[in-house]
Structure 1
C-alpha cells in the first residue's frame, strides 16, 4: 500500500475486545485452518434471512407465485460478491468499511454516510422488533404492544454470549440457523410445491421491471437480502481471526474468509427461497394473494396444510430469526459508531439506544393502525434499506479497486466491474420505483 493511501497509518480495531481473539493454527492442514474461519459468514448470513425477509418473501410468493425466486437468486449473487469485497477490504487495509470511509473522505462526506448507516441499522432493528414480537405472539399469545418491549431484554443475551467469547456468539447463531433450516425443510415437505414451477421461477422475467407492484416487492427483497449494515459488519468481524500479517497469510485469510461467507450465504438463499416457495405453494395456489402480514400467514398455514405442526414450526423459526438478527445488528451498530465517529459505548447501551429508536415507530403503528399494518411496515423498512445500499456499496467498490489502498490484494477488474454493475442496477431500480411512486404508477 502507498504510504499516502490513507490519512492515518493505522486504526484502532473495531470490536477491540474480540480483535484477533480466535487463533488460526499455523502449519495445520487447509481444512483445519478453514474451520478456524467458519463463523463470520454465518453472522453475515443472519442479515439475509431476518424478519424483514419474511415479510417481503411471503408477500412476493403469495402475490406472484414463484416469479420472484429469480430476484432472491440475483440478490444472493450480489451479496456473495459484495461480502467478498468486505473481507478483502478488512484483510488488505486492516480497516472496516466505516473506518475506511472516515479515513478516506472529508467530514462533509463521512458524516452523512454515518447518518445513512445509522438509519439503515434502525430500519433493520425495526424489522427485528416487529418480527420477534410477532413470533412471541404466535407462540405464546403475547400481545404485540407488550412483545415489542420484551424484545429489549435481548441485551442480556448479548452480554452473556460476548462475555463467554466470540466463538460462543458464532455457535449460538449457527445453532439457530440449523433450527430455522430444519423447520423450513419440514414445512416445504408438507406444502409439496410444484417443483417444475419452482425451477422456472429462477429464470428472469421483464415483468419485474414493468410491473410497479412487483418492482416494489423486488426492491424489498434486494433491500432485505443485500443489507447495508452487513457490509460494515463483515469488514469488522473478519478481523476476529488472528491470521498471518505477511502477504501469504493475508492471501490465505482472504480465500478462507470468502469461502466461509459464500457457503453461509448459499444457506441463506435456501432459507429465503423456502419462505417464498412456502408462500407460493400454500397461499398463491389457493387464491390468498394478499398476504403481507406474518401473523395472517401463520393463521392460514393450519387449515391449508392441516394440523398444528406447520404453524408451530413457522413461529419457532421466526423467533429464532429475530434472536439471531438481534446479535448481528448490535455488532454492526458498534462497528459503525466506533468506525465513523470513534465513539465507544458498551454493547448493552448501544443495543438499548438502537432498540428504543426502533420501538417508537413500531408502537406508534400498532397503537394507531393495529397489528394489521405491521406487515406493511416490515416491507417498507426493507425498501428503506434498499435506498441506503448505494451509500455503502459505492465507497466499498471504490476502496477495493484502488491499488494504493489495497496493495497486492486490490480487487480484480472483473470483480470491480461486476460490483459496479450491482451498484448501478440498484440505483436505477430505485429511480424507477421513485418515478412510479410520484407519477401515480404504484
Structure 2
C-alpha cells in the first residue's frame, strides 16, 4: 500500500504530461497552459464561501462588492506567487518546505496542512449534502453518505489524464456560472445600484464583521500547495525565455479563472441583495433559508433548482481539488505515496464523521454552524502556508532573476499580514461566541 522512496516529482502520475514545448501558434500556444488555475479557482467558490456572501448581500445590499473585489486581487497575488514557485524551482510548496526547514518544523507544517484539507473537505461534504437535500428532498444524512461516491469518480477521471480532469472541473465551473447568470437575469438587479457597490465606503461594526468573513475566507491554505504542483503538469523548457513565457501564461490563466470565481461570489451577493435586502428579508443567513425564499420572491420555480444545482457543482469541484491537495501534501512532506483510493477514503471519513454526528445529535439545523466552524479551522492554518511561500519566492539564491521584486514583496507581506490578522481576529470572535453560548460549540439539543 505504501511506497516510500523516490517521489521527487510533484503529482508524479501527471508530472509534465502536457508538453508546452511543441511548436504551437496563436491561441493553441496559450491553451496548452490553461487549466491549473481553474482547479484552484473552485476553492474560492466552495460552499464555505456561500454563507458570507449571502449574509453580506441580505444584510447590507450591494455595499460589500468592493470587499469581494479587493479580496480577489489579494488572492490573485498569492496564487501568482504559488505558480511562480512551481514553475521556477520545479517544487511544490510542501517539497520546498521539506528541503528548507528542520524535521520538527516540517512535521508541524504537515499536520497543519492535513487539518486544513480535512476542514475544507468537511465544508464540501456539507455543501454537497445540502445541495442534494435541497434538490431532491433526501434527508441530509443520506446526502452525506452519497458524497462518498465522488471518491470513485475522481479515481475514474484521473485514469484519463490531467487534461480530462481539468475539463471536468471547468465544466462544473461553467455550471455554477451559468446557474447564477440565469439567477441574476431572474432577479433583475438595478445596474446603477450594483455599480455603487464597487465604491469603497465606511463600514459599521456589523458590516465590518461580514467583510472580515469575506476577506478571511479568500485564500485557502491548500490552494497554495495545489497551484505550485499543478503548474508542473506542464513540460516547459529550462531556458529563461520558456520560464518567462510560462509565468506570463499562468498569470493570464489565474486572472481569468479567479475573475470567474469573483463573478460567482459577486453573483451570490447580488442575488441576496436584490432578492432579500430589497424586500426586507435581511435576516436570511442560512443557505437553506435562501433556497426556500427564492421561488416566492422571484416568481420562478427554476430559481431554487438552479441554486441547488450550483451548490452541488461547487461542492463536487472543490472536493476533487481537495483530494489532489492531500496527495501533494503527503508526498511533498513525507515522500510517501499512498494508494489514491485509500487516501481519498481516509480524508472523506475524517470529514463525514463530524457531519454525521452533528446531524444525528443536533439535527439538520446545525449544519450551517458546522460549516462556519470548518471555516474557522481553516483560518488558523493560513499563515503556515503563506509565510513560507513568500519566503521561497523572495529567495534570490534559489529563484535567481525570477525572485519577486521589492515592490511585489512589500505587497505580498502586506496582504499576508492583513489576511492573517483578519483570520486570527475572526477566530477570536468565533471563540468568544462559542464560550458565551451554552452547550457544545454553542449548540443546544
Separation in 2, partners of 1:151, 1:402: 42
Map of 2:336 onto structure 1: 343
Map of 1:74 onto structure 2: 70
Q: How far has the Cα of 1:201 moved from its partner? A: 1.8
Map of 1:51 onto structure 2: 47
Distance 1:367 1:205, change over 3 A: farther
Residue 309 of structure 2 is aligned to residue 316 of structure 1: yes
Distance 1:193 1:383, change over 3 A: farther
Distance 1:178 1:433, change over 3 A: closer
Alignment of 1:71-110 (within 5 A): 71-110=67-106
**TM-score normalised to the size of structure 1?**
0.93
| SS of equivalent to 2:200 | coil
* CA RMSD across the alignment: 1.9
Instruction: Give structure 1 stretches of 5+ with no counterpart.
Output: 1-9
Separation in 1, partners of 2:236, 2:137: 47
Alignment of 1:36-435 (within 5 A): 36-207=32-203, 211=205, 213-433=206-426
**TM-score normalised to the size of structure 2?**
0.92
Map of 1:7 onto structure 2: none
Separation in 2, partners of 1:124, 1:217: 20
Separation in 2, partners of 1:281, 1:392: 37
Segment drifting more, 379-388 vs 43-52? 379-388
Superposed CA deviations along residues 416-437 of structure 1, whole A, max 9, x for unmatched, are 1111100111223234445656
Q: How far has the Cα of 1:182 moved from its partner? A: 0.9
Superposed CA deviations along residues 139-165 of structure 1, whole A, max 9, x for unmatched, are 111110111111011011101110011
8 A contact 1:123–1:385 mirrored in 2: yes
Separation in 2, partners of 1:418, 1:106: 28
| SS of equivalent to 1:225 | coil
Q: How far has the Cα of 1:229 moved from its partner? A: 0.7
8 A contact 2:380–2:424 mirrored in 1: no
Distance 1:220 1:381, change over 3 A: farther
8 A contact 1:25–1:32 mirrored in 2: no
Superposed CA deviations along residues 350-395 of structure 1, whole A, max 9, x for unmatched, are 1111111111111122222222221232223223322321111111
| SS of equivalent to 2:91 | coil
8 A contact 2:151–2:344 mirrored in 1: yes
Map of 1:4 onto structure 2: none
Aligned residues: 430
Separation in 2, partners of 1:380, 1:403: 39
Instruction: Give structure 2 stretches of 5+ with no counterpart.
Output: 1-5, 437-445
Separation in 2, partners of 1:183, 1:403: 45
Distance 1:437 1:174, change over 3 A: closer
Separation in 2, partners of 1:129, 1:118: 16
Separation in 1, partners of 2:73, 2:121: 24
Separation in 2, partners of 1:264, 1:252: 18
Q: How far has the Cα of 1:439 moved from its partner? A: 7.2
